């Protein structure tokens, strides 16, 4: 083999090697992004109905994945002694929540000093609600004779129900926040009487 | 490996090294993500615009236009301070007069929530904390005797004060003066 051919082969090998290592780095970074952003609730520590929570969120004993997941999806979360966060991305039937569908969410006020249910789009920011309502909470929830609250989310207001508009066609995420949860609930988060999430009618 | 040719062994080690590289990149990204996000939060363009380095800043009430930190609570009025202990302790003071929930939470540079105090825990008293580093510089000034001291696991971090407001416009006259009692200063 001529000297030029030798160097050409060597350069080709180096280029292929560099491309492979670059691909490996991209694979590593991509898999991290997928785990943290696309599948953040893969490993919840608690599941109650359609609601999931990681009880180590915000805590100093959180593992590397929990810490990163919380930083990406719920930055500045409080420790569970102060606040518990439950997230729903599916309804009671297990179907992914979508902004263009109407949902009825019912439950009893959780055992906490204060609570709220907020609707977020998949970018984890609030919907541009035309009525300026972003959450149902312990202050504005109207309880029925059985002591239960009901709200709706979706593109259409439901008669008689507190409505959180979710304009657009995109995934929907519900967050249940419990500020100063009762000690019994902190000790046994799975004892939460979880609000139900049911789809109303059809869905475009 | 005895039965493999030299060529096969070479490829085995090449594939192995690629997998190790991918794994290391993955782990490094997961480890670094919270630290990078906190760095941007504390030192990024929004932080600089708000001038929150060792002093309190008061963002507007949360609406659909609030897009700095993910999952903002629409029921909380936030106040912030990016603390830096390199030049000594930072003093945090607040005296909100409110009947509803409020809290002051401290976050380390890796995003851990290492301290929180709420209105009930504070029993109506004014907050007066001295935030000190776990590994202070030699030149760091001591805090006054008898101070309420909080040890930060990192030299820099973030303070987030939450004030519950279920109807900001109706409660503005009460909650705004209350949150503006927050002071964050080099001790």
pLDDT in tens, B6-40: 888 888 888 999 999 999 999 999 999 999 999 99
pLDDT in tens, B42-71: 999 999 999 999 999 999 999 999 988 999
**Which tokens go with A186?**
């902190």
**Which tokens go with A96?**
């992914």
Q: Report the chain A residue with the minimal C-alpha distance to residue B32.
A: A68
- pLDDT level of residue A193 (50, 70, 90 thresholds): very high
pLDDT in tens, A133-172: 999 999 889 999 999 999 999 999 999 999 999 999 999 9
Q: What are the φ/ψ torsions at residue B66 (nearest 5 degrees)?
A: -75, 110
Distance (Å) from the alpha carbon of B142 to chain A's nearest alpha carbon: 26
Contact A124 B25 (CB under 8 A): no
Complex prediction ipTM: 0.87
pTM score, whole prediction: 0.90
Separation of alpha carbons B73 and B77, rounded Å: 8
Q: How many CB pairs under 8 A join A and B?
A: 153
- pLDDT level of residue A1 (50, 70, 90 thresholds): low
Edge-to-edge strand list for the sheet holding B127-133:
B148-152, B127-133, B90-94, B183-186
Collect all residues of chain A within an 8 Å Cβ-Cβ radius of residue B23: 28
Q: What are the φ/ψ torsions at residue B138 (nearest 5 degrees)?
A: -60, -35
Collect all residues of chain A within an 8 Å Cβ-Cβ radius of residue B73: 116, 118, 135, 177
Separation of alpha carbons B147 and B103, rounded Å: 19
Q: Are strands A172-181 and A83-88 parallel, antiparallel or unpaired?
A: antiparallel
Buried b (16+ CB within 10 A) or exposed e, B23-38: eebbeebbbebbbebb
Chain position carrying tokens 């929830």: A141
Q: What 8-state DSSP symbol labels residue A37?
A: I
Distance (Å) from the alpha carbon of B87 to chain A's nearest alpha carbon: 25
B116 CB within 8 Å of a chain A CB:
yes
Best interface-test mutation with A: which of B7, B27, B33, B109 has the largest number of A CBs within 10 A? B33
Separation of alpha carbons A176 and A67, rounded Å: 20
Rounded (5°) CA angle B44-B50-B55: 105
Contact between residue B168 and residue A132 where contact means Cβ atoms under 8 Å apart: no
Separation of alpha carbons A153 and A198, rounded Å: 10
B103 CB within 8 Å of a chain A CB:
yes
Separation of alpha carbons A101 and A109, rounded Å: 24
Q: CA distances (Å), B183 to each of A9, A172, B87, B173, B187, in order? A: 66, 38, 17, 19, 11
Edge-to-edge strand list for the sheet holding B156-164:
B76-84, B156-164, B102-108, B113-118
Contact A28 B37 (CB under 8 A): no
């Amino acid at each position: 083999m001529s000297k030029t051919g030798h160097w050409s082969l060597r350069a080709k090998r180096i280029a292929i090697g560099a491309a492979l290592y670059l691909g490996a780095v991209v694979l590593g970074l991509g898999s991290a992004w997928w785990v943290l952003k696309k599948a953040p609730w893969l490993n919840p520590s608690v599941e109650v109905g359609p609601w999931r929570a990681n009880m180590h969120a915000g805590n100093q004993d959180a593992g590397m994945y929990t810490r990163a997941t919380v930083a990406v999806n719920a930055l500045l979360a409080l420790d569970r002694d102060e606040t518990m966060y439950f997230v729903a991305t599916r309804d009671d039937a297990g179907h992914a929540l979508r902004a263009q569908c109407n949902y009825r969410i019912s439950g009893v006020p959780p055992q906490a000093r204060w609570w709220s249910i907020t609707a977020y789009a998949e970018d984890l920011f609030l919907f541009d609600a035309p009525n300026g309502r972003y959450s149902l909470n312990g202050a504005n929830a109207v309880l029925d004779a059985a002591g239960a609250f009901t709200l709706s989310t979706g593109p259409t207001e439901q008669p008689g129900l507190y409505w959180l508009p979710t304009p657009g066609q995109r995934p929907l995420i519900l967050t249940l926040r419990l500020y100063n949860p009762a000690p019994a609930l902190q000790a046994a988060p799975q004892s939460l009487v979880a609000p139900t999430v049911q789809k109303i009618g059809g869905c475009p | 490996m005895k039965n493999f040719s030299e060529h096969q062994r070479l490829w085995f080690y090449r594939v192995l090294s690629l997998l190790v590289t991918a794994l290391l990149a993955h782990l490094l990204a997961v480890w670094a993500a919270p630290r990078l996000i906190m760095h941007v939060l504390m030192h990024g363009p929004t932080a600089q615009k708000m001038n929150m380095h060792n002093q309190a800043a008061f963002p507007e009430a949360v609406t659909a236009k609030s897009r700095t930190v993910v999952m903002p609570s629409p029921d909380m009025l936030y106040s912030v301070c990016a603390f830096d202990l390199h030049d000594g302790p930072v003093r945090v003071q607040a005296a909100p007069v409110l009947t509803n929930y409020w809290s002051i939470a401290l976050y380390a540079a890796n995003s851990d929530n290492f301290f929180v105090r709420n209105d009930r825990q504070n029993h109506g008293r004014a907050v007066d904390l001295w935030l000190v580093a776990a590994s202070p510089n030699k030149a760091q000034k001591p805090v006054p005797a008898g101070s309420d001291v909080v040890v930060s696991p990192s030299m820099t971090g973030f303070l987030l004060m939450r004030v519950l407001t279920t109807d900001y416009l109706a409660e503005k006259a009460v909650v705004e003066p209350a949150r503006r009692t927050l002071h964050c200063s080099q001790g």
